[in-house]
Amino acid sequence: MVPYTYDFSLVLAAIFISFMAAFTGLALTNGISQLSVNARKTLVVMSAFVLGGGIWSMHFVAMLAMDFPITIFYDALYTLGSALIAILLVGVALLLMHFRVRTPRNMVIAGILLGSGIISMHFLGISGMRGCLPVFELPGKAVAVILAAAMGVAAIWAAYGKRTKQNIVAGTLVFGLSVVVVHFSAMYWTGFLPMPAPETMTTSLENGTLAIIVTLAAFVICGTFLLSAVTFIAPGGALAEATPQTARPGAAKPEQTAPAPNGALQPETKAKAGPAPIPYDTPVLGIPPVVRIPYERDKKTFFISSDVIAAVRAEGRYTYLYAENEKLFCPWSISEAEKRLPATQFHRTHRSYLVNIGHVTSFERRKDKAACRFDAFSHLPAVPVSRTRIEPLREALGL
């Protein structure tokens, strides 16, 4: 076996990167349930890159901390593939948490996917070593896989059991620790045999080149960490600080000085500070407001943003909401839904249907009949449009 020693300053750097990436990735997704679908997808992708990239960076910083008596190279294809598989599996876990209902079953599945990303990245990345051959002991593999799955589930449960700042911090600790524990547990049962280097290695990465790549990745994680930390710690968040202080139409005006009955001037009264509050359902800059719609499941009431709903269908005194990949029971009647939802976004097409024109992908008209289709919502059939409602809907669709 090839002997090696550790540079403990790099080991500490690897641990620090793991915790920074964990916090940054989890903080990026904090509070995104009220955002539009596209905004949520963007933040989930960013979080997946940070968390997956953090797993990858931690692993290779820890590998660079190992001092071998022989020259070590890394196969570029294996190295790149290990980063991509970590990002992919972490991304699927996050999509499950932010686009599906967070049931215990889904949280366990997401945790296992998270652990799979950690362990898959480790073994694929270390298999790309050239100059020596990694030899894995079977008990070590089993322990690493079990630890990865268990700690992945624990990290998801800590971060998503409740979406509070305390849960984000708890999830950071568990996730950051899981990456470190899985890596060094697997390394404890890994030996290295000398092997002759091939004459030509067109896709190899030397330690110096790898160090530059990892340093750049760590720099991006550090920068994103600082931005996330500022938003996370600041009271009221960045949006509260960015609220404009100029008055809007309807804002309260400062009280004017008026003469007293005896002709003397009354003391000036101070102007009321700040603009008048904006009603929750008032469009700003022409953007339709987002309304929280209640739905019921397992004897509990949940809420979903109106912009992710494609259609509302009447069912007696109640309605069903068509969200992506699921149909939800809503206690509102169709009349109540029409009254509460923004008229610029939701249009009544039929006595039993309200449709979100932002999700309509095609409009069909045949004589006096018409229908709307929603390609992204495979479980939603074509929605009929009543004859008297065809022209108003065409105008709303810009036809």
Question: Could you tell me if 221 and 362 lie in one domain?
Answer: no
C-alpha 11/C-alpha 64 separation (Å) is: 9
Mean pLDDT, residues 306-326:
87
Is 31 contained in some domain? yes
C-alpha 362/C-alpha 374 separation (Å) is: 7
Give ∠ CA 278-280-281 in degrees, rounded to 5: 110
18 in Cβ contact with 179 (< 8 Å): yes
161 in Cβ contact with 169 (< 8 Å): no
Mean pLDDT, residues 360-368:
84
332 in Cβ contact with 318 (< 8 Å): yes
C-alpha 57/C-alpha 89 separation (Å) is: 16
Q: What percent of the chain has pLDDT over 70?
A: 77
Question: Could you tell me if 105 and 19 lie in one domain?
Answer: yes
Q: Which pLDDT does position 113 carry in this prediction? A: 95
Is 187 contained in some domain? yes
* Residue at 135: amino acid letter: V
Is 22 contained in some domain? yes
Overall number of domains in the chain: 2
C-alpha 323/C-alpha 311 separation (Å) is: 8
* Average pLDDT in the chain: 79
The pTM assigned to this predicted structure is: 0.57
C-alpha 158/C-alpha 225 separation (Å) is: 20
Q: For residue 102, with 0-12 CB atoms within 10 Å meaning exposed, 13-18 middle and 19 or more buried, which class applies? A: middle
Is 197 contained in some domain? yes
CATH number at residue 382: 2.40.50.1020
Domain boundary among the residues 188, 220, 236 is at 236
Q: Tell me the HSE value of 89 on the side-chain side, using a 13 A CA sphere.
A: 22
Is 243 contained in some domain? no
Is 264 contained in some domain? no
* Residue at 227: amino acid letter: L
Q: Which pLDDT does position 118 carry in this prediction? A: 94
| Per-residue tokens: 89 | 């599996």
Is 385 contained in some domain? yes
Is 287 contained in some domain? no
The most confident of the ranges 139-143, 163-167, 215-219 is: 139-143
Q: Which domain holds residue 91?
A: 5-236
